[in-house]
Amino acid sequence: MALVSLRHDPLRVDELIAATAGPDHGGIAVFIGTTRRDADRTEVVALEYEAYEELALAELEAVAAEAEALGARVAISHRLGRVAVGEASIAIVAAAAHRPAAFAACRLAIDEAKRRAPIWKRTVHADGTAVWRDGVSAPVS
C-alpha cells in the first residue's frame, strides 16, 4: 500500500525514501516540487496551499495505486498552508526493481496528482498581494 500524506510541516524526503525503498529496489525516482522566487516577473515570498483534505487524500491514494500498478512502490506527500521560497511543496518517491518502472511511476504520480487532487495554491507576492492559480488577486490576510 502506498504512503500518502498532506502535511502542514516541512516535507521529509529522506523519510519518504526510507518508507518506500527496500533491498529489492534497484531504481528510486524522486520528484520534488519547490516554491520558486518569481512568477510572471513578480517576486514571490511564499505559496499558500488549501485542500479539500478528505477528497485530496482519496485522489492521491488512487493516483499512487495507479502508479504502483506500473511495478513500483510509491509515496506522495503534499504540503498545505504557507510554503516559503525554496521549500518543497510536493514530494514523490517511486521505488522499483528497475529504473524504467521507477521513472514511469514517478511521472504518472506527479502528472495525475497535480491534475486530480483538489489542492489549490495562492502565490504570495512581496508587495503584499496574493493571487490564486486562477488569477484572482486579493490582499494577504
Assess if residue 62 is contained within a domain. Answer: yes
Assess if residue 80 is contained within a domain. Answer: yes
- Going from the first residue of the chain to its last (141 residues), give the mean pLDDT of each consecutive group of 10, the final group possibly shorter: 88 94 94 85 89 97 97 97 96 97 98 95 90 62 51
Q: Rg (Cα) of the chain, in Å, rounded?
A: 16
Number of domains in the chain: 1
For residue 8, the domain's CATH number is 3.90.1170.40
pTM of the shown model? 0.90
Rounded distance, CA 63 to CA 116, Å? 8
Rounded distance, CA 118 to CA 116, Å? 6
Assess if residue 141 is contained within a domain. Answer: no
Assess if residue 139 is contained within a domain. Answer: no
Sign of the four-CA dihedral 63, 58, 3, 24: negative
Sole residue written with cell 510572471: 40
Assess if residue 108 is contained within a domain. Answer: yes
Provide the domain limits for residue 92: 3-132
pLDDT for residue 92: 98
Residue 133 is given by DSSP the state T
Assess if residue 103 is contained within a domain. Answer: yes
Counting Cβ atoms within 10 Å, is residue 51 exposed (0-12), middle (13-18) or buried (19+)? buried
Rounded distance, CA 130 to CA 22, Å? 42
